[in-house]
Amino acid sequence: MTSEQVLAKVRENIADFFSVDLNSLAASTTAEEVPGWDSFAHVNLVLQLESDFDVRFSSTEIAAAKNIGELAEKIRSKIATH
């Protein structure tokens, strides 16, 4: 899966999860910019992404992602080594 494909799928997941417009989500979008994205929602989103992409993350890895693009890149790197 290419970086662009992973980013597209992550954006789709986030748009569905938070019921927001897909076009409002860019690689640079942060959690603070998405209505309802709090720490509880973050945990549930990560669980969904782990399931959808068949990857697992440590809490440190997920906390280090500053925006959607970084989250997608972490997923892509996990897929590449999977």
Q: State the Cα angle at 45 between 43 and 47, rounded to 5°.
A: 70
User: Where residue 68 falls among pLDDT bands split at 50, 70, 90?
Assistant: very high
pLDDT one-digit tens code per residue, 8-54? 999 999 999 999 999 999 999 999 999 999 989 998 999 999 999 99
- Name the token pair of 29: 């979008």
User: Where residue 64 falls among pLDDT bands split at 50, 70, 90?
Assistant: confident
C-alpha–C-alpha distance, residues 77 and 82, integer Å: 9
Domains of the chain: 3-81 (1.10.1200.10)
**Which pLDDT score is estimated for 27?**
97
Instruction: Classify 51 as helix, strand or coil.
Output: helix
Q: Across residues 71-80, what is the average pLDDT?
A: 92
